[in-house]
Structure 1
Amino acid sequence: MLSEASRRAGHRPGPKPRLSRAKIVQAAVDLGIEQVSIAAVAAALGAAPPSLYRYIDSLDDLVTAAVETVFAATPTPSPERGWRAYLEAEAATRLDLLTRYAGLVPEGSSGLAGIASRRFEQLVQGLMGLGFPVAEAVLAVDAVVDLVHDGAAQMARLRDPAEPSRLSAAMTASLELYSPGVRAAVVEIAEAPREHLRRKLGIVLDGVAARQAGWSGEPTSESRHR
């Protein structure tokens, strides 16, 4: 039986939890990277918050490791099917990550920015392997990444966090500012935001194809919109 002093100190009966850096990082991923705190991860693992610092240096270290874990589980797509399918696959993967892990890769720290930069570099190298000049590869990847991140942020603002089946108060208020025809079109977007983002991506990739025709001297089969 625990002594009164032990109970007052908050000691729990039974063996102490076995911790490791991998377990701590995975707990951060499971909790949601955007909501990670040392206290929350410790509670999820049944451990005291100070004990985590035997395995991590800081909260920033933990978040960076969690982001690295997520990206390690989602490698960049293969360029074998051509540049358009390559960028479409990255857009789909990135959107899935951003919707499952809201706030993924907030580039406020050098560690997170470094992770984002490494993936960006890999994507650019993939396009260069398909014959893209470096400037065109950077432009194409940057356009797709910006589009997806902006689209994910818009999707997060569409719904009421307390009741996801309803539009958010901000979105509902903004609809009142549109004329009936525009309002109907915006409502369609709100009801199918992924399809809307897919169509926007198509416009961007059509632009990439048009530019490719210019610098390559002749259109390729991928210059046509699928």
Structure 2
Amino acid sequence: MPPETPRRAGPRPGPKPRLSREKIVRAAVELGPEEVSIGTVAAALGAAPASLYRYIDSLDDLLAAAVESVFAATPLPSAGRGWRAYLEEEAAVRLDLLIRYAGLLPERSADLIVIVSRRFEQLVQGLAGLGFPVEEAVLAVDAVVDLVHDGAAQISHLHDPDDPARPSPAMAAALALYSPDVRAAVEGVLEAPREHLWRKLTLVLDGLAARRETPD
């Protein structure tokens, strides 16, 4: 009986996958930031990893495009429940997005700047439709956006990435400088950073409400 000839790995049956940058980015979004790599995206598309480089420059390029895609597709808040709920909804959605993609947001990406600017315009126009003067709407949206972006950046640096139950080295060094009562209060922030951020947002919105009740 002749020896069995080893089988060579041949091409996969069926048509070759038709790739596009849009399909590759969509696959990356569906995988989520924790799972994205050139290999996992290629596997999800049934393609060879090298074939993706015809449409993307690098993994960083893919991650930036995925974040831009998610940001562009995020629905605007509903204006039907009033200006305060409108800004709170935007803050909540934006915070979730920023924390989920912490470290991946391409801050200087031209495409993301266009998307963020367009969203800023839409939010301002939404407030204007609720009776805000445009200047006041710009002030309100800018205050909320800055607060949320700054808060998300702080949250991402509060804890040790290797041990989330512990403060980051920088935060631990800061805690050591505080008096006992201040340290205890700050440790409370570390235990519930989102709730702390929301309290700060409430403070801003309360001030905006008071400002609207007593206009200049």
Amino acid of the structure 1 residue aligned with 2:118: R
**1:106-133 Cα deviation digits (max 9, x unpaired):** 3212111111111111111110100111
Shift of residue 50 of structure 1?
3.8
Say if 2:72 and 2:115, in contact at 8 Å, map to a contact too.
Answer: no
Q: Deviations over 1:13-63 (max 9, x none)?
A: 634862533441133222418x96656644665644441244x35457644
Helix, strand or coil: the match of 2:26? helix
Indicate whether 1:135 and 2:135 are aligned.
yes
Q: What residue number does 2:165 align with? A: 165
Taking a change above 3 Å as real, the CA distance of residues 82 and 38 of structure 1, as seen in their structure-2 partners, is same
Q: Is the 8 A contact 2:64 2:106 kept in 1?
A: no
CA separation of 1:133 and 1:192: change in aligned 2, threshold 3 A: same
CA distance in 2, matches of 1:146, 1:116: 12
SS at match of 1:77: coil
Q: Report the Cα distance in structure 1 between the residues aligned to 2:105 and 2:131, rounded to whole angstroms.
A: 29
Partner residue in 2 for 1:18: 17
Distance 2:36 2:165 in 1: 26
Match of 1:126 in 2: 126
TM-score, normalising length from structure 2? 0.82
Code of the residue aligned with 1:114 in structure 2: it is: V
Q: How many residues align?
A: 206
Q: CA RMSD in A?
A: 2.7
Shift of 1:73: 4.2
Q: Please tell me whether the aligned partners of residues 160 and 169 of structure 2 are also in contact (alpha carbons under 8 angstroms).
A: yes
Closer/same/farther in 2, CA of residues 12 and 67 from structure 1, 3 Å limit:
farther
CA contact (8 A) 2:159 2:166 kept: yes
Structure number having the greater helix percentage: 1
Matched, 1:70 2:70: yes
1:107 is matched with: 107
Q: CA deviation at 1:100?
A: 1.5
Which amino acid counterpart does residue 205 of structure 1 have in structure 2? Answer: L
Q: In structure 2, what residue type is equivalent to 1:115?
A: I
Structure 2 unmatched ranges of 5 or more = 1-6
Compute the TM-score of the two structures, normalised by the length of structure 1: 0.78
Partners of 1:108 and 1:25 in 2: how far apart? 19
One-letter amino acid matched to 1:70: V
Worse overlay, 90-99 or 39-48: 39-48
The residue aligned with 1:181 is: 181
- Partner Cα separation in structure 1 for residue 79 and residue 202 of structure 2: 18
1:84 is displaced (CA, Å) by 0.5
- CA distance in 2: counterparts of 1:203 and 1:12, whole angstroms: 64
Counterpart residue type for residue 181 of structure 2: G
Q: Identity of aligned pairs, percent?
A: 67
Give me the whole-angstrom Cα distance separating, in 2, the residues matched to 1:162 and 1:93: 27
Secondary structure of 1:164 counterpart: strand
